[in-house]
Amino acid sequence: AGRVPNTDTLNLDKVGVQLDRRQKIAVDEYQTTSNPNIFSVGDVCNSGFELTPMAIAAGRRLADRLFNNQPNAKVSYENVPTVVFSHPTIGTVGMTEPQAVEKYGADNVKVYRSKFSNLFYGIFDVDSADKPKTFMKIITAGVEEKVVGIHVLGMGADEMMQGFGVAVKMGATKADLDSTVAIHPTASEELVTMGLWGTSPQHSGAVVPPLMGAPAGEPTLKK
C-alpha cells in the first residue's frame, strides 16, 4: 500500500546499493546507503517520512556534512510535525498515546483532552451539537510532564501545529504551555489553557525557564 519508489530501473544492485522489502533505498542515520559513496534522501529512502520538507532538511544536513566541514551533521527524525489536509485538517507532532504508554509506562503518562466548537461557528444558526467540533490532545510524560505529543483535529490545525511543533522540539513541559498567555479568541489558546489551572508541576524544558513570571532570557552579545 502507499507510494511505490521508482527504483527498479536504477540498477542499484550494480553499485552495491541495497533496497528494503518495499524497494526503498536502505540508509543509515546519515543518509548513507550500503555503498559508502552513495547517499539518498527523500521519499525513495527508508527514513520513515514521506514529506517534502523532511527531504529538504535531510538534504541540507547531508550537504553540511559533505561540503561544509560539519562531520556530525544529520537530520533529526524525532518530533516531526505533520498535517493531513483533510476537512477538517489534522495536525500532529510527537508520540501517540499508545506509543507514549509503551515507552514510558502508563503510570508515567498523563493526557489532557479538549473538545469544543470553534468560535468561527458561533454565529451559525444551528444547534450547538450540530456545529463542527475541534478535538485536541496533549500527551505528557514523567514527573516534569514533558510534552511528548500534541494532536489537533479541527479548523486551523495546520497553521497552529507549526508553532507548537517548535515547542515540542525544544522540550516544552505542560507548565511551559501554561505559562504562555493565551491569544483570545483563537482555537490554539486551548493548548495553553487545557486542564485544571495550577495542577501541572512547575518544571520547564527551557534553558531559561519562563515559569512564575520569570524574565525572558537575554541573548549573548558580541564583544
Residues with catalytic roles: 184
Helix residue spans in the chain (DSSP H): 52-67, 97-104, 157-169, 174-178
The set of residues, in sequence order, having a beta carbon less than 8 Å from that of 211 and lying 6+ positions away, is 175, 176, 179, 202, 204
Q: Kindly state the cell numbers that stand for 45.
A: 529512502
Nearest to 42 by CA among 7, 78, 16: 7
Q: What letter does residue 129 receive in the DSSP assignment?
A: G
CB hemisphere CA count around 56 (13 angstroms): 3
Place of cell 527514513: 47
**Cβ atoms 169, 79 nearer than 8 A:** yes
CA angle 197, 203, 204 (to 5 degrees): 105
- Dump the DSSP string for 59-85: HHHHHHHHHSS-TT-----SS--EEE-
